[in-house]
Amino acid sequence: MKLDWKPGTMIYPLPAVLVSCGSQQEEYNLITVAWTGTLCTNPPMCYISVRPERHSYEILKRNMEFVINLTTEDMAFATDWCGVRSGRDYNKFDEMKLTPGKASIVNAPLVEESPLCIECRVKEIVSLGSHDMFIADVVNIRADERFLNPETGKFELSESCPLVYLHGAYYGLGKKIGKFGWSVEKKH
């Protein structure tokens, strides 16, 4: 039996990412975001949604660039901490001993400890209510070569133990169940 529930954001799990922003080292900041996702494959586009009162909001709006840094189980503490502490009060890179790296195209730093860093340039900001959505073009991807399978050339992101957010809590992914299209593959 199903129950009616008040409308809310119950699409879970979501990636728990660290968004890095700022064009000068003195303004570099990290914000933990779960309201993020893919919008389009061609051209590659994604989004993050941020509350206007957050410290990073003005940095994002001023620079119109950011990096989505995927996180791992090993990064769970830093991911949570960067979501509950403000960049007004702390240098989050220093406090969490994360390394700001140079992105290839955008001025925002990337997080060296992240297995995958998605460089983004804001195309449009849409005011939605509690959050504004930063719609962005993906201009570059930086991938940690440790997760590149030398035999297949495939990037094995699952080997990094990605972190996800599910209704107020962080989780690892668990075991693989299948791959895209496995339900219709011909049996030999």
Domains of the chain (ranges; CATH) run 14-177 (2.30.110.10)
* pLDDT at residue 115 is higher than 80: yes
Q: Say how far apart CA 29 and CA 108 lie, in whole Å.
A: 9
Looking at residue 65, what is its pLDDT? 98
Model pLDDT for residues 30-83, shown as the tens digit of each residue: 999 999 999 999 999 999 999 999 999 999 999 999 999 999 999 999 999 999
- Which of the four pLDDT bands, split at 50, 70 and 90, describes residue 130? very high
Looking at residue 7, what is its pLDDT? 87
Paired tokens of 78: 């830093």
Looking at residue 143, what is its pLDDT? 96
> What number is the average pLDDT over the span 90-102?
97
Give yes or no for a contact between 97 and 81, defined as CB atoms under 8 angstroms apart. Answer: no
Query: Which residues make Cβ contacts (< 8 Å) with residue 103, sequence separation at least 6?
Result: 67, 109, 110, 117, 119, 140, 142
* pLDDT at residue 183 is higher than 80: yes
On the question of a cis peptide bond just before residue 43, with omega within 30 degrees of 0, the verdict is: yes
Looking at residue 124, what is its pLDDT? 98
